[in-house]
Amino acid sequence: MVKQGILLVSAFFTVVVLASVIGYQVGVASTTSVASDAPFVTVTSASTTSVTRTEIGSVVKIDASTTTTTFTVTATTAQLPATATTTTTTVVTATSTATTTSTTTTPFTKTSTKTITTTIPTTSTIITTSTATKIRTTTTIETRTTTTTVTTPWSGKTVYAVDIVNGQLVDSSGGRFTMIGVNYGDIPEIFQSGNYAADAQNIKNAGFNTVKLVKEWGALENSLSPAVYTYNYTELQIMMQQIGNLTQNNINVVIKLHADAKIPAHAQNLKRFLGAQYCGPPGTYESDFSISFYTTSYLTSGATGHAHLTNLWLKISEMTRSNPRVIGFDILNEPTYCSYTSKYESGIIHDGWHQRIDETTQALRNDGDNRIIFAEEAPSFEYYERFTPWSDPKIVSSLHWYRAVYRTTSRTGTWAACWSDPQTLQNYWSNLPGPLGTRCTPDPTWIEQAQQKYPKQLFEIGEFGGISGNSPGDINQQWIKNSVALFQTKGMIGWFYWSSAETGTWIHDLTATATLSTSVKNQQNPAD
């Protein structure tokens, strides 16, 4: 840009960086001159760009592009002959036009732009008188350097090994992913050797790609009262050791919190800081809570069960955030009620629990954690007849599938199948009762209706099975295979087996489907 005029040496300029068009307007208000050489102002710029690549492990690859632009304003004045006199009044206006800069947040990238604008006077008045021989001088009025840095993921790869993008579960390469997993940790006893490194290696060798790491709430938190927050750092360290060994073997981890009374010391801890809100029956795996647990927010009181639950998840989030294979949190296992009198109470529990999950999720989001949340319905095992979708697109509805199976001995025995044919399993999946005259519950789950009504909601099987003594070709193996086929057909994004023993065929029945499950899902929804 070249304009006639004389520039004041002390003038300031407004420079707005990032997608800015910078201009200088120099207007001559009045002039008298007989010189043929007119003074002029030039604005030049030079830019350099450098790119750096950062790799964290085998998952995170980031390119950082830095562009540095130097703007130079130069005034060149040709002095007039000694006999000529010039009086010039010049108005100089420095202008900048900036395009709108927005902050774009994807599940994998946060890009923020900081624009600094210096406010200056918009006009300057210059009166110049010149009587001299012709001498050409060049004066640099101002040099200003601006730097813009933009960081983006390399080739669209994720920060976490598995994430939800545009309503689909994908891996770090952007490909569709299905979690083929097992519950492991405090309970059940599967893959527990007493050596966390050996456990992780055995899980990897078995062919599982993801683990629901089961941790006891009453083991991790040992607060003495509702108004106190303290934690068992020995137990937290065990959790971190388990996570470290699993993720070093390229196994993805979903941390899953239980609140049962199987271990008396854990139940006593829960009773101390949850008070009357907790009523888990002694010696059981049940997570029983009063209605007030579901209806009282941490935003109302810091001494509620929901406040303790949210605070523990914030601590776990902080401890695990740097590990790209800790892909999400299963907030609370099978939450149910202390007492039950009517469907009306079930509705209150359902609605309150959805609000509590939303609030806990928002607390994590506000703290910078954007990982997947797995939410189980409350009251547990009443399932989806009154289902409403979760508000956050990264909340997955997690269901437990024990239809057409029964416990062989009391409340703690292993499981066996009553029925295994695809049509009966499909009926259970929908709203049709199961066959009568068996030891299995006839209650349907209404999952089919929930999926049809809310097609954008993602679902996964957080637990199923418990069958460990099956033989090739028997009804128990057929139940496992046909259940997995049902999960594939219904578009589940993953399934996690629950078992306390490694006998039978269930490990092979699950892990042999790992590759097939992904290809089937892709074929079903090629346009997604």
- CA 26 to chain CA centroid, nearest Å: 52
Consecutive H or E run containing 168 = strand 168-171
Whether residue 473 contacts residue 412, with contact meaning beta carbons closer than 8 Å, is answered with: no
Q: pLDDT tens digit string along 448-483? A: 999 999 999 999 999 999 998 889 999 999 999 999
Omega before 188 within 30 of 0, i.e. cis: yes
Q: Which two tokens stand for residue 228?
A: 């106190």
Whether residue 71 contacts residue 15, with contact meaning beta carbons closer than 8 Å, is answered with: yes
Q: pLDDT tens digit string along 183-221? A: 999 998 899 999 999 999 999 999 999 999 999 999 999
Whether residue 429 contacts residue 406, with contact meaning beta carbons closer than 8 Å, is answered with: no
Whether residue 180 contacts residue 510, with contact meaning beta carbons closer than 8 Å, is answered with: yes
Whether residue 84 contacts residue 34, with contact meaning beta carbons closer than 8 Å, is answered with: yes
Domain chopping of the chain, boundaries: 2-155, 158-524
Name the nearest CA neighbour of 506 among 515, 520, 496.
496
Q: Which two tokens stand for residue 426?
A: 């499909």
Name the nearest CA neighbour of 37 among 82, 85, 84, 77.
77
3-state secondary structure 381-442: CCCCCCCCCCCCCCEEEEEEECCCEEECCCCCCCEEECCCCHHHHHHHHCCCCCCCCCCCCC
The C-alpha angle with vertex 461 and arms to 458 and 462, in degrees rounded to 5, equals 110
What's this model's pTM, rounded to 2 decimal places? Answer: 0.70
Class of residue 261 by CB neighbours under 10 A (exposed 0-12, middle 13-18, buried 19+): buried
Class of residue 467 by CB neighbours under 10 A (exposed 0-12, middle 13-18, buried 19+): buried
Name the nearest CA neighbour of 203 among 186, 181, 187, 188.
181
Q: What is the mean pLDDT of each run of 10 residues along the chain (528 residues)?
A: 34 30 34 42 64 46 54 52 40 38 36 37 38 40 53 54 95 93 93 96 96 98 96 97 98 97 92 95 90 96 96 97 97 93 87 97 96 96 92 97 88 83 97 91 96 97 92 95 96 95 89 55 38
The Cα 409–Cα 236 span in angstroms is 34
The Cα 41–Cα 321 span in angstroms is 54
DSSP letters for 511-523: HTTHHHHHHHHHH
Whether residue 256 contacts residue 214, with contact meaning beta carbons closer than 8 Å, is answered with: yes
The Cα 64–Cα 152 span in angstroms is 7
Name the nearest CA neighbour of 70 among 139, 164, 147.
147
Q: pLDDT tens digit string along 12-43? A: 332 322 333 333 333 333 333 334 444 455 65
- Integer distance in angstroms from the first to the last C-alpha of the chain? 50
Residues with Cβ within 8 Å of residue 237, at least 6 apart in sequence: none
**CA 505 → CA 14, 362, 499, 501, distances in Å?**
73, 41, 12, 11
Residues with Cβ within 8 Å of residue 175, at least 6 apart in sequence: 518
The Cα 267–Cα 265 span in angstroms is 5
Name the nearest CA neighbour of 466 among 397, 411, 384, 398.
411
- CA 499 to chain CA centroid, nearest Å: 29
β-pair partners for 25: 93
pLDDT at 469: 83
Signed CA dihedral, 435, 438, 441, 445: sign only: negative
The domain covering 158-524 belongs, at the CATH homologous superfamily level, to Glycosidases (3.20.20.80)
The Cα 404–Cα 420 span in angstroms is 7
DSSP letters for 118-187: ----S--EEEEEE-S---EEEEEEEEEEEEEEEEEEGGG--SSSEEEETTEEEETTS-B--EEEEEEESS
The Cα 360–Cα 233 span in angstroms is 22
Signed CA dihedral, 95, 100, 103, 104: sign only: negative
Consecutive H or E run containing 326 = strand 326-330
> Tokens 């941490």 sit at which residue?
298
Whether residue 511 contacts residue 210, with contact meaning beta carbons closer than 8 Å, is answered with: no
